[in-house]
Structure 1
Amino acid sequence: MNFKIPERKRKTIKRFFNIALVLIGLLLVIFNDTLGKLEGFEEFIALYFLILFITIANWIFKQIKALIRLKNEKTKTELMHLKSQVNPHFFFNMLNNLYGLVDKDAKKAQELILKLSDMMRYSIYDGDKDTVLLSEEITYLENYIELHKMRYHKAIDIQFNIDTNNTDYEIMPLLFIILLENAFKHGVENLREHAYVHITLTAHNNEVTFEIENNFDEAQDSPDIGIGLKNLKRRLELVYPKKHTLTLSKTDTIYNATLNIKGL
């Protein structure tokens, strides 16, 4: 038969033990002259300080452990919140497009619904995971590009080049989509003609580099950093501290973004 002391009683016993330890220390200080003459006093002092040291060390260890656990829980909560902010406006826009497309081109609408469904499933379920395979992220990006090709009624030069012999690298989900979204939102959407988005994804030797270049209308350019990029930067700081670089640059009409992650 297993006998387990209730948590409340354990805390009471522990509190009593700590108080007793302090009282013994006070008695030793106050009656040091008298107690010091007793036989075995030195051994008792050695044992007392050993117990005191163990008790203090145990308390410090538990405090550090609690702080680490609290920090990890805070990080996980923050990451969940940041992930929940990814893509809601994209899905909203695509649903609006679907509404207008159903009567005009039912077959195209069906294709769009299937791809949108795959993206939503990935975003909701796989997006909650700590890591996913690089191949899954690539498929997600390809679906996003295909949906945009269906959406726009204008010629767009879209190139997605992949250079890797291993797509089984594990990586945090929904990383590259923010940079791709920005290329379409601030570039393609505002250009009537000659819009382009060129993407290169390289993965070798436990290192992944995602480069994207797009042109934009200088008159429509906004100097402010959007919430998406702030979101991305914070997620990278939390998951890949000192293992990543994110470089953003632009000329008059061309925007470049490069994300590099090492040590995968």
Structure 2
Amino acid sequence: MNLKFLRKKKSFPIRIFRITVAVIGIIIVAFNDYFGKIEGFVELLFLYFITVIITVSHWLFVNIKAIVKLKNEKKKTELMHLQSQVNPHFFFNMLNNLYGLVDKDSEQAKKLILKLSDMMRYSIYEGQKDYVTLQQEIDFISNYIALHKMRYHKNISINFDVDIENEDLKLMPLLFIILVENAFKHGVEVLRDNAFVNISIISNQNTITLNVKNNFDTKEQSHEGIGLENLKRRLELAYSKKYEFTHTVNDDIYTAKLKLTL
């Protein structure tokens, strides 16, 4: 017996009841002159209208509930799709770097592989969950930064400051990494000298604030792109009016700030 048949079987008595209520209403209207002379007709009519109101209310409740459920499922599906788009080109670039590093420095390559493995495991398993802890996100960003420090052979300055009261705060996975990755992609990877990225995460009992600042080559394209569009859409779906996101450009300095209220 399949699910579709079970649903039909379950809804069959309800349909019979609704049809019966409708038929009784038609009979009352058609033979109003006759029924109006019967003792207790007013009370019976009142009871009938109460039944109609309850039936209509139940129908509205069931349909509204179904619409809300469908909307939530669609929202969750879209969120999962957006989360699956995070970091693919980073992993691709890292694998290319590893290929060139294996013969030159096998020990360094091994360290890179371990950290990359941790990041991929987090993206695949934790990244599909609705929520993760703040500490898990911090660890993920730390691994990301460590990988970048290993792969570059130029003078760069990377600072990551953390000041949190509760490391068990829950938030959507792979959210902060978009802004961090954006800073490296448009700054460190492009600039030849004196590149810097400053990152800070500050939180109290119900807010988390991420600040990211980096310099960039003004001749290159802007920081706007698929990554930021992805971030904005995910924030709107998951946090609605519970977030503040700003980003500014001052000469060759790009600053992004994201505040979540949990």
SS class of match (2:24)? helix
Would the alpha carbon gap of residues 25 and 256 (structure 1) be closer, same or farther in structure 2, given more than 3 Å must change?
A: same
Tell me, which stretches of 5 or more residues in structure 1 are unaligned?
A: none
| Rounded Cα–Cα distance in structure 2 between residues aligned with 1:98 and 1:251 | 35
The more displaced of 20-29 and 132-141 is 20-29
What does residue 192 of structure 1 align with?
Answer: 192
- Which string of whole-angstrom CA distances, capped at 9 and with x for unpartnered residues, describes residues 161-202 of structure 1? 111232121111111100011101011111000000011111
Paired letter, 1:209: T
Q: CA deviation at 1:253?
A: 0.6
**What's the TM-score, normalizing by structure 2?**
0.95
| Rounded Cα–Cα distance in structure 2 between residues aligned with 1:120 and 1:7 | 41
The answer to whether 1:176 aligns with 2:206 is: no
What does residue 226 of structure 2 align with?
Answer: 227
Paired letter, 1:253: D
Q: CA contact under 8 A between 2:209 and 2:257: conserved in structure 1?
A: yes
| Rounded Cα–Cα distance in structure 2 between residues aligned with 1:155 and 1:224 | 22
| Rounded Cα–Cα distance in structure 2 between residues aligned with 1:193 and 1:151 | 15
| Rounded Cα–Cα distance in structure 1 between residues aligned with 2:132 and 2:31 | 66
Paired letter, 1:173: P
What does residue 135 of structure 1 align with?
Answer: 135
Q: CA deviation at 1:17?
A: 2.1
| Rounded Cα–Cα distance in structure 1 between residues aligned with 2:66 and 2:209 | 37
The answer to whether 1:156 aligns with 2:153 is: no
What does residue 70 of structure 1 align with?
Answer: 70
What does residue 256 of structure 2 align with?
Answer: 257
SS class of match (1:102)? helix
- Which string of whole-angstrom CA distances, capped at 9 and with x for unpartnered residues, describes residues 118-160 of structure 1? 0000111011111111111111001000100111110110001
| Rounded Cα–Cα distance in structure 1 between residues aligned with 2:145 and 2:29 | 77
Paired letter, 2:45: I
Paired letter, 1:248: H
Paired letter, 2:235: L
Q: CA deviation at 1:98?
A: 0.6
Task: State percent identity of aligned pairs.
Answer: 58
Q: CA deviation at 1:30?
A: 1.6
Q: CA deviation at 1:48?
A: 1.0
What does residue 13 of structure 1 align with?
Answer: 13
Tell me, which stretches of 5 or more residues in structure 2 are unaligned?
A: none
Paired letter, 2:107: K
